[in-house]
Amino acid sequence: MEIIKNVRTKSPLVHCMTNYVTVNDVANIILAIGASPIMSDEEKDVEDITSICNALCINIGTLNQRTIKSMFIAGKRANSLNHVVLLDPVGAGASKLRTETAVNLLKEVKFDVIRGNISEIKTLAGFSGSTKGVDADVADEVSEDNLDAVIEWLKKFARTAGAIVAVTGKIDLVTDGEKCYVIRNGKAEMKSITGTGCQLSGMMCAFLAANPENKLEAAAMAVCTMGLSGEIAKTHLAEYEGNATYSKRIIDAVYNMNDEILEKGANYEIR
Amino acid sequence: MEIIKNVRTKSPLVHCMTNYVTVNDVANIILAIGASPIMSDEEKDVEDITSICNALCINIGTLNQRTIKSMFIAGKRANSLNHVVLLDPVGAGASKLRTETAVNLLKEVKFDVIRGNISEIKTLAGFSGSTKGVDADVADEVSEDNLDAVIEWLKKFARTAGAIVAVTGKIDLVTDGEKCYVIRNGKAEMKSITGTGCQLSGMMCAFLAANPENKLEAAAMAVCTMGLSGEIAKTHLAEYEGNATYSKRIIDAVYNMNDEILEKGANYEIR
Amino acid sequence: MEIIKNVRTKSPLVHCMTNYVTVNDVANIILAIGASPIMSDEEKDVEDITSICNALCINIGTLNQRTIKSMFIAGKRANSLNHVVLLDPVGAGASKLRTETAVNLLKEVKFDVIRGNISEIKTLAGFSGSTKGVDADVADEVSEDNLDAVIEWLKKFARTAGAIVAVTGKIDLVTDGEKCYVIRNGKAEMKSITGTGCQLSGMMCAFLAANPENKLEAAAMAVCTMGLSGEIAKTHLAEYEGNATYSKRIIDAVYNMNDEILEKGANYEIR
């Protein structure tokens, strides 16, 4: 496997239109994996910026009317250049504006990947997703009990959407509609950190841009990298440390990640 | 005392309309205490978002005309749902726009708590507060010498405003107009960290939402938690570490905080 | 040398109009060196805010039409008050809007310092700079081989612009058109951190505001402080740590910096 080597060698430039809550961590995790981030959300700026990039990450976590407009402009330009484009529909289901924006983006922009929690993905799939904030509704959690059913349903949505769909939670699922990676990396404590999902979305763009022949595996390995980094970071945490230091150490672990460590630590099966 | 236990058990969802300087730390400290944050400042989004939350934190640190409009909309909706609402009037007194916005918010929105430094609170109280940036004017510091007078004045303002008022600085004061908590937790080095005030405001919303029968004590214990976390974090700081690492360690200490540690370490008297 | 002592004693207030990616680190590094930051980008707020400050830092990293307008307003007011004003033209050359904004700011606002990477500075100087994201184009790197030519060219641009120009990269150059500081502090790993440039710009404003008689040396010593802090921070980094922790430790090192450490560690020559 040379997925991470490809990221570090090709060093793709990722245009991030992401929320202002977690943007600094998104920038640092993209740098940690050996790629480069650039942020721009102004309608008169995004076409130029996305044109010099290799991938576009659209995250609606702190959307507003101005930036929504820019997301459509950037998405269409990225499509016309065949760049990797990812949607992170933060809070879809939590408000009418977020749901509508995500749904309309899916209609007007071609996405390579949609990455969210199960509640957001259910909303997009037209199911009744009751989203509590930015976390997956507990009742909707993917578990060993409902795994088979969720995989079938998710594959169907991926085929309908014509995109790779990545659902992250206790168990992570990544499917292109045919194969589904079932991933069991990560630590429960990662839920106490803001923005691990946003970071994963940004980093995943770099994985896909550097591995264009192999997008499904690249998306799955980005998920494994995040989870495994959470596992590694936890081993270095002192008792008096908590979520804030943990957050930085996870990015540190990504900084030190390579294909060998990933192959050894990735915990997944393909269904 | 079960104040923190209540936060961790009920895990209130806090809608933050806060500045982009310290928003990441605000999100992580809310997660550290066991609650959940969601950020939204778009006028077409805030009513939906605040409706699914338990509390609203309005912080005017990087206000603009667009977000000011959203603050009024969100505040009124939160009032109509009887949610906890807190105002952090960052920089009131430092500019006409900030002062006017804070004063108008106080007129049109009912706040459970107003939390700021002495200079900002003096501005709101109609006194001549000369604010130097976002820090309390030194001449206006609360000290052992002027403590009695400040408490009397603060109680009066709290009664006029119909809100709990929390003034943080070297000595912290939290009053509902009748009782006043005088709190002596914290470390001087906390002044070298951006956003400890913003973080406290966000976390305080969670304390009040989870302890609705006991809002004054909840507000005071949020202040003690912040100060005590600063004390604990300092004991783990290496000589070569400074304000940036200290900032993360304080959030870590909040992550590890419980009612027992708080009861033992809280340093306050009631006047 | 009492350059840092002056910063810590006078504690200038720096008005930052900076991008939302790195703003938290900018605030903390300004606090680390003993100054105070205040952020404001609203057109109705910036005149009041900049009036109570000692310096203004304009960074166009996440510019938009609204904030661009505010930058001109703030810049002109700061000029009228003879405050220190610095331009960080993030991404000039990467988009038409960024280039035009930077060029127009240079026309309408008098800057004490322009600080960027070689590609951004080349763009501003009217040379053909091909900017890859926010990093200097590799082909444009300042090296021992092209050093003499770059210095000559940079001095000319500084004279034309009527400003101190600071180019940061592997080798850092700071010139007022007559003398040029050639600085070899820093570590290659600093390139893996988002925002070291933005942080330097913010901190540099404080250095100049506190050392008005000695602006060129102040600007150069700000660059040395940043690089030396990167060197010191690296000595404290564990093998499992990476760019995220490194970022915090650099700010920590600034927190612990003084003129003695700086004089001993600053690695520069004057040409």
- Cα angle: B168, vertex B241, A229; to 5 degrees: 100
**ipTM score:** 0.95
Are residues B245 and C252, on separate chains, in Cβ contact within 8 Å?
Answer: yes
Phi, psi for residue C62 in degrees, rounded to 5 = -130, 50
Chain B residues whose CB is inside 8 A of the A245 CB are: 248-249, 252
Give the residue-averaged pLDDT of B175-192. 98
> Would you state the structure tokens that stand for residue B79, as one six-digit string?
């009032």
Task: List the domain range (segments joined by +) for residue B245.
Answer: 3-270
Task: Say whether residue C19 is in contact with chain A using an 8 A CB cutoff.
Answer: yes
Predicted pLDDT at A204: 98
Q: Are strands A268-270 and A180-183 parallel, antiparallel or unpaired?
A: antiparallel
Q: How confident is the model at residue B130 (pLDDT cuts 50, 70, 90)?
A: very low
**In whole angstroms, what is the distance from residue B20 CA to residue B198 CA?**
11
The C-alpha of A143 sits at a distance from chain C's nearest C-alpha, in angstroms, of: 32
**Portion 217-256 of A in contact with B at CB < 8 A:** 238-245, 247-248
A61 reaches C (C-beta below 8 A): no
Quick one: closest CA in B to A237, which residue? B252
* Cβ separation C253–B240 shorter than 8 A: yes
A143 in helix, strand or coil?
coil
Q: Which of A40, A53, A66 sits opposite C62 (nearest CB)?
A: A40
Q: Give this prediction's pTM.
A: 0.96
Q: Which residue type sits at C215?
A: K
Q: Which amino acid is at B146?
A: N
Q: B243 and C28: CB-CB below 8 Å?
A: yes
Give how far A109 is from chain C: nearest CA, Å.
22
Give the residue from A135, A229, A214 showing the smallest Cα distance to A174: A214
- As a whole number, mean pLDDT of residues B150-163 equals 95
What is the rounded distance in angstroms from the CA atom of residue C227 to the CA atom of residue B65? 39
Q: Give the total number of structural domains in chain C.
A: 1
Dihedral, B160, B162, B163, B168 alpha carbons, nearest 10: 10
Q: Would you give per-residue pLDDT tens digits along chain C (271 residues)? A: 899 999 999 999 999 999 999 999 999 999 999 999 999 999 999 999 999 999 999 999 999 999 999 999 999 999 999 999 999 999 999 999 999 999 999 999 999 999 999 999 999 998 544 444 445 554 578 999 999 999 999 999 999 999 999 999 999 999 999 999 999 999 999 999 999 999 999 999 999 999 999 999 999 999 999 999 999 999 999 999 999 999 999 999 999 999 999 999 999 999 9
Identify which of C19, C64, C243 has the shortest CB distance to residue A32: C243
Residues B88, A24, C240, C235, CA torsion sign:
negative
Q: Which chains touch B (3 or more CB pairs under 8 A)?
A: A, C
Q: Mean pLDDT across the stretch A211-229?
A: 98
Q: Is C28 on the interface with A (CB under 8 A)?
A: no
Q: What is the CATH number of the domain that holds B111?
A: 3.40.1190.20
**Residues B135-156, mean pLDDT to the nearest whole number:** 82
